[in-house]
């Protein structure tokens, strides 16, 4: 027989296979995946999960990855657990040894994600975004160099909180400097709330047996009716291309699948209903070494819309901030052209 891979997120490991038609992708919001398992739309015969060693009561932690793994294990006909001595024990999501069919014990290092090298463009974007962040807000950070660049410019802020799908080492730095306290997180005061973690061993050691950190299933962290209850939620995510209507694709360059929706729309919409909330989409002004504008008249043919023009609030490039909420289509176009790369502004005005 032939195994055919079905991906719920497109990363480097499956990108070529998806685009060549050798693998599939199921489009869905990150927060929706547990329900697809629960409702049997994505049936699970076997779940292979990596867990921390059991505590004295027989409960094993999902460690650095709760996301949809928790529901996959609950929905599976067979659960195979790799119990890794080096998996941090985190609070929030557990499974009992009696719920597992097979256990394989290991003692191996977790993959580590090195700190990204932040470019000048990413640094300028990070500085602009940081100017939109006040004191006592709760942050949701996406993946990549730009969120790390934002963290670099938050040194003067006070009493920040974290409720996000993921965080990395930069968050630990701000906690140790007393900038992140989670004191004003009105849902989970004093807690870092996330659904998965990516970083170095330093991050994994920080979360191990740390009651300040709660790893929750993604249908909690990313659910609009949960995150939307947070006061002053600021969501920070990235785009591959933005058109002059304000439509965002974070998934495709033309017809080529690069990524997936992930949690972007979950948090954009949560921030829109959060009292005092802001959603921010970051996008370098150019691609392909500066030869193409990422602010375009229309999204490149074949690309899907990730975040609709109705949901977009702030778009940020290295050239500034465009606030699109409440703006007409003409006003949106003008604001976006003003933050496009200067080499492309005249061309965009003529379209």
Which residues are known to be catalytic? 165
Which string of DSSP letters, residue by residue, matches 298-343? SPPTTPPPSB-TTT--EEEETTEEEE-TT--HHHHHHHHHHTS-HH
What distance in Å separates the CA atoms of residue 249 and residue 202, rounded to the nearest whole number?
33
**Distance of alpha carbon 40 from alpha carbon 75, whole angstroms:** 8
Tell me how far CA of residue 40 lies from CA of 5, 8, 43, 80, 349, in angstroms.
18, 15, 5, 19, 50
Positive or negative, the Cα torsion across 67, 69, 70, 76? Answer: positive
Q: How far apart are CA 273 and CA 233, in angstroms?
A: 9
CA 31 – CA 100 distance, rounded (Å)? 24
Torsion of CA 207, 208, 211, 214, to 10 degrees: 50
- What tokens were used for 176? 């140790």
DSSP state, residue 116? P
Reference 40, options 78, 76, 86, 4; nearest CA is: 76
**Count of beta carbons in the 10 Å neighbourhood of residue 297:** 13
Closest CA to 307 of 280, 333, 329, 287: 280
- Cβ contacts of residue 346 below 8 Å, gap of 6+? none
| DSSP H/E element including 170 | helix 169-176
State the Cα–Cα distance between residues 89 and 295, nearest whole angstrom: 44
């Amino acid at each position: 027989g032939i195994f055919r891979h079905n991906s719920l997120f497109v990363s480097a490991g499956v990108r070529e296979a998806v685009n060549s038609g050798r693998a599939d992708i199921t489009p869905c919001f990150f927060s929706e995946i547990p329900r697809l398992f629960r409702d049997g739309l994505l049936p699970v015969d076997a779940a292979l999960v990596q867990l921390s060693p059991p505590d004295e009561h027989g409960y094993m932690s999902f460690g650095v990855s709760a996301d949809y793994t928790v529901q996959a294990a609950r929905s599976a006909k067979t659960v195979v657990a790799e119990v890794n001595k080096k998996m941090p024990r985190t609070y929030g999501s557990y499974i009992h040894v009696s719920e597992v069919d097979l256990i394989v014990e290991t003692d191996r290092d977790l993959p580590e994600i090195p700190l990204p090298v932040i470019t000048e463009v990413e640094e300028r974007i990070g500085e602009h975004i940081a100017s939109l962040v006040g004191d006592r807000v709760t942050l949701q950070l996406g993946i990549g160099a730009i969120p790390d660049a934002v963290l670099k410019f938050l040194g003067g802020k006070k009493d920040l909180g974290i409720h996000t799908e993921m965080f990395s080492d930069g968050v630990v730095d701000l906690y140790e400097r007393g900038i992140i306290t989670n004191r004003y997180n009105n849902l989970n005061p004093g807690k870092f709330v996330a659904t998965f973690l990516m970083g170095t061993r330093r991050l994994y050691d920080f979360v191990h047996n740390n009651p300040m950190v709660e790893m929750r299933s993604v249908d909690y962290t990313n659910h609009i009716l949960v995150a939307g209850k947070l006061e002053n939620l600021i969501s920070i995510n990235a785009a591959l291309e933005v058109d002059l209507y304000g439509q965002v694709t974070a998934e495709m360059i033309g017809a080529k699948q690069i990524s997936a929706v992930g949690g972007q729309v979950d948090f954009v919409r949560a921030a829109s209903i959060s009292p005092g909330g802001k959603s921010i989409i970051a996008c370098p002004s150019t691609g392909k070494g500066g030869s193409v504008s990422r602010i375009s008249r229309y999204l490149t043919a074949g690309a899907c819309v990730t975040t609709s023009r109705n949901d977009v609030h702030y778009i940020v490039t290295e050239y500034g901030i465009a606030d699109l909420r409440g703006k007409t289509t003409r006003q949106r176009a003008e604001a976006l052209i003003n933050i496009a790369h200067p080499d492309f502004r005249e061309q965009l005005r003529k379209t």
